[in-house]
Amino acid sequence: MKIGIVCYPTFGGSGVVATELGKYLSKNGHQVHFITYSQPHRLDFFNENIFYHEVVISSYPLFEYPPYELALASKMVDVVKHEKLDLLHVHYAIPHASAAYMAKQILRSQGISIPVITTLHGTDITLVGKDASYEPVVTFSINQSDGVTAVSEDLKRDTYKHFNITNDIEVIPNFVDISRFRKQGKEHFKKAICPNGEKLIVHASNFRAVKRIEDVIMVFDQVRKQIPSKLLLVGDGPERMKLEALCRELDTCADIRFLGKMEAVEEILSVSDVFIMPSEKESFGLAALEAMACEVPVISTNTGGLPELNIHGVTGFMSNVGDVPDMVKNMITLLDDKVLPVFKKNALARAKEFDVNTIGPRYVAYYEKVASKVAGMVER
């Protein structure tokens, strides 16, 4: 198949999943055309089946905000026509689903039929999508899609709860390329961070309030008083200054490193002992899955889609949102040298259930199902 993938080319989960899916599809003989405003971060290699089409936004004094959605829809029309695509797969509802609807109507007026699949990733539904400024368009665009997927059962429930959705939603979970996230043999890096054999705790996110990274630092502050430890914070965002101030207030700066945004996060995860994700809301928890693929058990909250990934008492532990004392207790239990190896083994075994070679075929089967349905409607 010739598949157009529309996504955000950023470090966020939706862009990562879209890019990794495109890589999987290309390796399995499908031709993949990425349509976005800059090259996705993980698309850093050459493959004969991968193509990139940049959405260029013209700047005019009349526009206070550049009309990206219109430029994107026009680019979709161009790529579908000239590359003869079989299907468009848009990741993150805003504004990709509405732009795809517009492109589809333009193509239909020219006698071209193109199936559109929308994948919902989380904040496009749970946060941004519920905003009254966007809700009618989001609802309409999802219902007009030929196929809709969500990355967890929890997100599917949320979508039906907060939007008047008449379309069926297929749950296809996020995935990980186990071959990429295997142990990296970077023990010299851990030695540099933990010269005296300290335990290494890691958190990775986009540093927004919903991630509750203050809880990460509060948990770490208590744990380090009982178990010599270091904390690595991977990512960046609007909460960073507040977090740095909290580190100074608790006098933990010597044991915490802010690493910023990192492409090869697996190099950090592969030498870590525990991953902590105390989020207020997670539609799935892709960063936790990537940690588990590196044999790193997870301390997380029990919110959103996290219980569908992290098995309490098996691959890690879960606590209620904001329950710092319980997370501290669980972390100390997990860091015991007699306990940790078992949880590491369990974490990897669980991650293998979400390997791209297991989940990828489910997307391909869904593509074929939706394309066949649309073709049957056109014939009638």
Q: What predicted TM-score, i.e. pTM, was given to this entire model?
A: 0.92
Q: What is the mean pLDDT of residues 88-116?
A: 95
| Residue 378 confidence (pLDDT) | 62
- Across the chain, mean pLDDT equals 92
Query: Of 230, 233, 244, whose CA–CA distance to 193 is shortest?
Result: 230
Least confident of 11-20, 91-100, 298-307: 11-20
Identify the residue with better confidence: 380 or 371. 371
| Residue 45 confidence (pLDDT) | 66
Q: What is the CA radius of gyration of the chain?
A: 22
Contact between residue 13 and residue 289 where contact means Cβ atoms under 8 Å apart: no
Contact between residue 145 and residue 118 where contact means Cβ atoms under 8 Å apart: yes
Take residue 111 and report the two structure tokens written for it: 């006698």
Q: What is the mean pLDDT of residues 131-141?
A: 87
Burial-class residue 196 by CB neighbours within 10 Å (0-12, 13-18, 19+): exposed
Q: Quote the CA–CA distance of 211 and 150 in Å, as a whole number.
A: 20
Identify the residue with better confidence: 6 or 11. 6
| Residue 186 confidence (pLDDT) | 66
Contacts of 173 (CB under 8 A, 6+ apart): 151, 152, 284, 308, 309, 354, 359
Least confident of 36-45, 293-302, 365-374: 36-45
Question: 229 pairs with which residues across the strands?
Answer: 199
Q: Quote the CA–CA distance of 287 and 195 in Å, as a whole number.
A: 26
Residue ranges of domains in the chain, CATH in brackets: 2-175+356-379 (3.40.50.2000), 187-352 (3.40.50.2000)
Identify the residue with better confidence: 320 or 130. 320
Strands 256-260 and 116-120: unpaired
Q: What is the pLDDT of residues 152-202, one digit of tens each?
A: 999 999 999 989 999 999 999 999 999 887 756 567 788 888 999 999 999
Max mean pLDDT among 12-16, 120-124, 228-232 falls in 228-232
Take residue 94 and report the two structure tokens written for it: 């805003």
How many CB atoms neighbour CB 260 within 10 A?
A: 10
Place of tokens 């335990």: 199
- pLDDT of residue 129 exceeding 60: no
> Coil, helix or strand for 231?
strand
Least confident of 50-54, 69-73, 187-191, 217-221: 187-191
